[in-house]
Amino acid sequence: MALLITDECINCDVCEPECPNNAIYMGEEIYEIDPARCTECVGHHDEPQCKVVCPVECIEFNPEWREDRPQLLVKFERLTGQQAEAGQQSD
Ligand code: SF4
Ligand code: SF4
């Protein structure tokens, strides 16, 4: 399940650099999470890092993006594979 930033976000900029998958970006008004890139931090950390650092607790699970742990691990592997490929290309 990907995470979702609600409109209580105060644009404090704290979560964006914490995301290991570069899934968080500034949207039109508040920060947003790309659900295709969010693994709940599976593969990187024990807990969703954005949720841990958010000072106003405005990050929730996205009920429209349901995935179990094996699916999240597949997503993690796909994303890290892409990063490895990008790294090789820039060498
Ligand atoms: Fe990024 Fe992890 Fe937050 Fe998902 S849960 S947006 S992967 S920091
Ligand atoms: Fe918004 Fe929370 Fe991220 Fe700050 S940490 S930008 S309040 S979602």
Q: The pTM is what?
A: 0.91
Specify if 44 maps to a domain. yes
34 domain-assigned: yes
Rg, the chain, Cα only: 13
Domain of 67? 3-85
What is the number of structural domains in the chain? Answer: 1
Establish if 12 belongs to a structural domain.
yes
CA dist 86 and 9 (Å) reads 32
Q: Is residue 32 part of a domain?
A: yes
CATH of the domain at 39: 3.30.70.20
Residue to mutate (ligand 2; options 31, 51, 61; most atoms within 8 A of CB): 31
Q: Is residue 91 part of a domain?
A: no
Ligand 2, CB cutoff 6 Å, lining residues: 5, 9-15, 31, 53-54, 56, 58-59
User: Mind listing the pLDDT tens digit of every residue in the chain (91 residues)?
Assistant: 899 999 999 999 999 999 999 999 999 999 999 999 999 999 999 999 999 999 999 999 999 999 999 999 999 999 999 777 777 765 5
**Is 9 among the domain residues?**
yes
